[in-house]
Amino acid sequence: MEGIVNFSAGPSALPAPVVARIRDDLPDWNGTGSSVVELSHRAGPFMALASGLEAHLRRMLAVPESHRIVFLQGGAQMQFAAVPLNLAGEGGPACYVDTGAWSARAIAEARRYCRVHVAASSGADGYRSIPPRAVWEVPPDCAYLHYVANETIAGVEFAAEPESGGVPLVADMSSNILSRPIDVARFGVVYAGAQKNMGVSGLTVVIVREDLLDCAHPLTPTVIRYAAQAEADSMANTPCTFAWYVASLVLEWIDDEGGLDAVAERNRRKAERLYRAIDASDLYSNRIEPASRSRMNVSFELGDDALDPTFLAESERAGLVGLKGHRSLGGMRASIYNAMPVQGVERLVAFLEDFERRHG
């Protein structure tokens, strides 16, 4: 594998066949004589794409008939407000699990619209782990229980869906949706920005249980009101048509790769390979409790911070880009979403070993 390997956390790399398809389609999409970004969202060809996208995603994730799928804008951070507005009614209590920076932002935003109860937090240990389910405090009158399935900054991920105790379970899956099968029936709401595993920025997917559509605060804006968007087939306002188109191509690519089970196995092997190299090193270290390590975002630190600029400069010259850690945490971070091939991880491991030989 030659050329650039993109480890950016998001917007992140697209699968190479998807990029090639976009390039070929752009001048003339499906014989329309126009690119997909020039067509009306109400035109027949795009309406066919829209219905096909929803059906494909429903089939891929085995979304039950009890749940609706809506395609929105604003990114996952818009959902930090949309979730309490849609589910907490006039401001009833909502529960949140705090496992990192994105959980903390979701909590802060929700507090503007409802009473928030923090069921558990790993903040005291620097967000190195996920609090055991046995210590969570989830009052039965909570409107919902919210968690972030994968925290991209430190690299903390839930290995499985937690038990909610009968409270509607809400998950931000922006950075690990489509990375493995999930049991959608267990959730009240799943939401995810598309720019990591599903396509490009500008699209947010929300899967919402139908019986929760009538729980919104009356002042919830139409564009983020789940019931209004579900009734309008996600077109209560003009959608981000290009992002919908790219998402449809990504779903096709996942099918071509063998489906979610095959993608999940490859993601497991990629993460294990990279963590194994880090753990075997005397120069690199990962701060996350092994049981809570992310398969999507592998953070690591060098034993000597003074080497960070050299590491980043040399890695970029080697064609490995996007390895600088989040500004709030420092260190390094390799994001290895679905589109990252096994060969890309192998190139990074080879570089890590060579850099340590020369600078360790």
Please pick, among 29, 196, 244, 253, the residue that the annotation labels catalytic: 196
Return d(Cα 119, Cα 139) in angstroms, integer: 8
How far is C-alpha 188 from the geometric centre of its chain's CA atoms?
17
Residues ≥6 apart with Cβ < 8 Å to 193: 10, 75, 76, 174, 201, 203, 204
Q: Is the peptide bond preceding residue 93 cis, with omega within 30 degrees of 0?
A: no
Told to judge if 102 belongs to the known catalytic residues of this protein, a careful annotator would answer: yes
65 half-sphere exposure, CB direction, 13 A CA radius:
0
Please pick, among 102, 136, 244, 253, the residue that the annotation labels catalytic: 102
Distances, alpha carbon 275 to alpha carbons 69, 113, 346, 356, in Å = 35, 40, 12, 15
Return d(Cα 125, Cα 10) in angstroms, integer: 26
Residue 174's nearest CA partner among 192, 196, 156 is: 192
Told to judge if 282 belongs to the known catalytic residues of this protein, a careful annotator would answer: no
Plot region of 155 (φ>0 → left; ψ -120 to 50 → alpha; else → beta): left
Please pick, among 29, 98, 136, 172, the residue that the annotation labels catalytic: 172
Return d(Cα 177, Cα 41) in angstroms, integer: 25
Q: Which amino acid is at 13?
A: A
Told to judge if 255 belongs to the known catalytic residues of this protein, a careful annotator would answer: no
| Tokens describing residue 240 | 């981000």
Catalytically active residues, by annotation: 102, 172, 196
